[in-house]
Amino acid sequence: MGRPVPRQFMRNALLDLTTIVPATAYHRRSYAERYSRYKFDTGEDFQNFLDIANACIHAAKEGHGKPIQNPHGFLFAQLRAGYINPPEGYKSRKIRAQELRNQQLEEELATLRRLKEREQELQFELFVAQLTAEDLARLEHDAQAAVKPHLGLSPAFQMDMQRDSILKQWFAQRTQLHQERSGHH
């Protein structure tokens, strides 16, 4: 693989954990194993360890959790211990990545639902626009026949409601007929 990273370079890189060591996972793991009783199985394990340490230091700087006077000393003490307790609310890279992916999927799903709904609206508007004069006359007749004068609603309002209801019923029937003909039950 590669050569170990010089101790001075690693010391400087670890002084401020907000910039994670810009070395390969092999070098970082090799360096950590020199100072730690705990053997990190993968570079990912060590990166997770560094992420937790960074989160602890960041939380301490913001006044959450235990104060950390010496971040460098804190890191080496945790490396020697081989374990570090994550601060409250800590999320690993995997969890943050999955949350981001879920958010993207939820946004995509919401967009697809809006587009599908808009497609239905446009299909309905197209259906209404294509009605013949005969269809419109039948619509008026059927809507007028469904108006109930003693209902307590104005006849004009009832006519609008009946027209809308009849149009939606006709559209649903036409859609179902179209689906049956094309084989999509």
Say how many C-beta atoms besides its own lie within 10 A of residue 61's C-beta. Answer: 13
Distance CA 144, CA 146 (A): 5
Instruction: Identify the pLDDT of residue 16.
Output: 44
Q: pLDDT per position in the chain (185 positions), as tens?
A: 344 444 444 444 444 444 434 444 444 445 444 445 566 778 888 888 889 999 999 999 998 878 888 988 898 888 888 788 899 999 999 999 999 999 999 999 999 999 999 999 999 999 999 999 999 999 999 999 999 988 888 999 999 999 999 999 999 999 999 888 887 65
Distance CA 138, CA 161 (A): 15
Instruction: Identify the pLDDT of residue 97.
Output: 95
Residue 129 identity: A
DSSP 93-155: HHHHHHHHHHHHHHHHHHHHHHHHHHHHHHHHHHHHHT--HHHHHHHHHHHHHH--GGGSS-H
Give 13-18's long-range contacts (Cβ < 8 A, gap of 24+).
Answer: 14/72, 14/75, 15/71, 15/72, 16/71, 17/50, 17/53, 17/54, 17/57, 17/71, 17/75, 18/54, 18/58
Contact 30, 52 (CB under 8 A): no
For the chain, the helix, strand and coil percentages under 3-state DSSP, each to the nearest 5: 70, 0, 30
Cβ-count burial 22-52 (b if 16+ within 10 Å, e if not): ebebebbbbbbeeebebebeebeebbbbbbb
Indicate yes or no: pTM above 0.85: no
Instruction: Identify the pLDDT of residue 149.
Output: 85
Instruction: Identify the pLDDT of residue 156.
Output: 93
